[in-house]
Amino acid sequence: MNRNLKKGLMSSFQAPPPTDRERFLKQLRYPKITYWEFLLAQLAYIRKCIWIAFALIVFLGWVIAFRLSSFQYWSGDGLRIWSISAILPFLAMMTITEIYRSSAYIMAELEASCRFSLLQIVMARISIFGAANFIVLILLLIFINQISAYSLLQTILYTIMPYLFVCTACLWLLNRFHGSDGIYACAAAAGFVSVSSILCEGLVTVLYTDVYLNSWLTLFAICLVAIGFQMHKFVKKLEEKQWNWNLTE
């Protein structure tokens, strides 16, 4: 077709620019939702078994702290702290993998087509699980602090370090593995840390001393920095995915 004829057809049948579009969109009736309503709505998409597992972890912590102290094997404060810290890797694993579940089961494209972007959905779930994890950890620390002869700082460090280590390991693995492989790798990492904690219970009396307190603080700081770095990479990958999908639309 002649180039001039093409230009003539385009100019003749080109749709006029929209007028008064903003007023029309404001008057258009469509379901509206605030961000807080969206945040609460995300609770419905989190599996009930996750909340049951969180409650079970709290219950096990209560049992270890208060109901097993009458047995000679469980009478030591260090052993009870070590036992509770051994179950916390599974709390970290469930949290990270549930946040990652959309990508693992190829649902990210569907969620990205919603009014809220995939990044906003993931950040909402991170906020929800962050609050839930904070409550669980605080309850466990309250249980342990009531029966422990250690200082509050020592109790926090000894209890939370396996949790932070698994958080770091899971984020590192999910940044390198895709789909369900990442979830299986996280489960293996949580199991390895938990079993290692149980097998090394003989070192409790050695490691839970003031001599190693600076080493615990150093590991705590390293884990926090590593979690922040891996989380930044995780969020950046989500932004890149969203950008790629926008280019293909």
Which tokens is 197 given?
């904690």
């990210």: which residue's tokens? 108
Alpha-carbon separation of residue 88 from 60, 80, 81, 136, 137 (angstroms):
11, 13, 11, 10, 9
Cα 183 to chain centroid distance, Å, stands at: 12
Structural domain contains residue 29: no
Query: What tens digit of pLDDT does each residue of 152-204 get?
Result: 888 888 889 889 999 999 889 888 887 677 788 888 888 888 887 767 666 76
The closest of 159, 167, 6 to 86, measured between CA atoms, is 159
Rounded to two decimals, the pTM is 0.73
Yes or no: say if 102 and 108 are a contact pair by the CB < 8 Å rule: yes
pLDDT band at residue 69 under the 50/70/90 scheme: low
Alpha-carbon separation of residue 227 from 119, 127, 213 (angstroms):
18, 15, 21
- Evaluate if residue 108 carries a pLDDT over 60: no
Structural domain contains residue 226: yes
Query: What tens digit of pLDDT does each residue of 206-239 get?
Result: 777 888 889 999 999 999 999 999 988 887 877 6
Query: What tens digit of pLDDT does each residue of 10-48 get?
Result: 666 666 666 666 676 666 665 566 777 777 877 877 888
pLDDT band at residue 247 under the 50/70/90 scheme: very low
Structural domain contains residue 25: no
Domain that holds residue 155: 47-248
- If one counts the domains in the chain, the total is 1
The closest of 161, 175, 187, 230 to 53, measured between CA atoms, is 187
The three-state secondary structure class of 31 is: coil
Cα distance between residue 191 and residue 141, in whole Å: 22
